[in-house]
Structure formats: C-alpha cells, structure tokens
Amino acid sequence: MAANKVAYLSLLYMTLGLVLVATVSADPDLLQDVCVADLSSGVKVNGFTCKENISAEDFFFAGLAKPGLTNNTFGSLVTAANVQKIPGLNTLGVSMSRIDYAPGGLNPPHTHPRATEMVFVLEGQLDVGFITTANVLISKTIKVGETFVFPKGLVHFQKNNGRVSAAVIAAFNSQLPGTQSIAATLFAAQPPVPDHVLTKAFQVGTKEVRKIKSRFAPKK
C-alpha cells in the first residue's frame, strides 16, 4: 500500500513538473486560451491551424490506460499522447507517451529533436542512458517510482533486462517531440542513404550494409 502511495505521489510530482516545464516549452507560446488543432486542414503552419468548434473530446485521450502490445522485433511499444492524438495540445507545448517493454525489450537508440524527455517507471525496472556530444555515456538502472531525464536532442535508449514486463510514462516539453531512431533513420530512409556513405561511416563492407538494410525493409 505504501509503495503504491509513493508511486502515485511520484507521478503527481512528475505531472506538476510537466506543467511547470511548459513555461519554458520548446514550442512557441500560445496567443489565446486554446488553439485546438484542425488536423484536417490543408493549411501548413508551424504547428496546426485552429479549428472553430471544440469540445471536451479534443482534450481527452484514453490510450495510455492499457499496456501496448510488445510482440515485435524490439519487444517494446511507444503509445504517444501528442497533438496528433489530442488536438487540444496544439500550442500548449507539452505531450506524453506510454512505453511498454517485454522482458528483454529495447526502445532502441533514438533522439527527440524538439524536446527533453522525462520518464517515470510504472512497473519493472530499466537500464537507461544517453550519450553526450562528447561521446560520454550517462546511464543508470531505474525502478518503480523513479524518474530519469533525457536532454533534448541527445541519443538515448531504454532496455528491460528483467524477467518481467516494464512500463514508463514519458513527458515532453513539446506538443510533437519528433522521434528519429538511429538505425532506422540510416538504414531504412527513402530514398536510401547510399551504401558508400554507410560503409565509410561504419567502417564495414557493402555486404554488411545491405544485410542490415534488408532487415529494416518493409515486410511484403
């Protein structure tokens, strides 16, 4: 019971922190009370245009309530609660995600070009880390009720090395943080990154590069 109380208090503090970080959001400040995103608009702006008629549903999302399916290559699943799922987040400069991990599951090395990320462990434990621009790995094992921060734009990862499932709630100071998975970005880009670029960068042969590309190719 006490452990549950600590977990809920930690999540509360994290939520309050998310609200506070909005004051120094990576996104532009809003100029009115709300600007609910019109996701169907063809007008392209930095963000989304505002729609005229709004309702409570524009500010609601139930998608983080249940664990995501982790029966995939990496054994993890990210469920985003960003402006594309909650139109009311437009111009508010915040969003969240739930990340679920099977035993041995990995959220592979990636970056968020528009946001700092803060994770709160709901269950299980994770080995997490980020790499600085000086190529220094900052890593730690975190467990239920604990938090860890990944600075904006830096490569980071989470790995479940436990025997049970794990899950976190992640908070971002952007309505749409963006995600670039390092391996997929380099080996699954379209048009593809030239083989000679990758062979030079990774100091491997063309055969190895094409083998990795084949593993990231869309399933037919």
CA distances from residue 57 to 34, 90, 168 in whole angstroms, order as listed: 14, 14, 25
Q: Rounded distance, CA 149 to CA 142, Å?
A: 11
- Tell me the HSE value of 157 on the side-chain side, using a 13 A CA sphere: 16
Helix orientation angle between 195-202 and 206-216, rounded to the nearest 10 degrees:
110
110 labelled as ligand-binding?
A: yes
Preceding omega of 108 cis (within 30 degrees of 0) = no
Encode 115-126: b = buried (16+ Cβ within 10 Å), e = exposed.
bbbbbbbbbbbb
Owner of token pair 């670029």? 197
117 labelled as ligand-binding?
A: yes
- Tell me the HSE value of 3 on the side-chain side, using a 13 A CA sphere: 6
4 labelled as ligand-binding?
A: no
Q: Which residues are annotated as a binding site for oxalate?
A: 107, 112, 117
Q: Which residues are annotated as a binding site for Mn(2+)?
A: 110, 112, 117, 156
Q: Which residues are annotated as a binding site?
A: 107, 110, 112, 117, 156
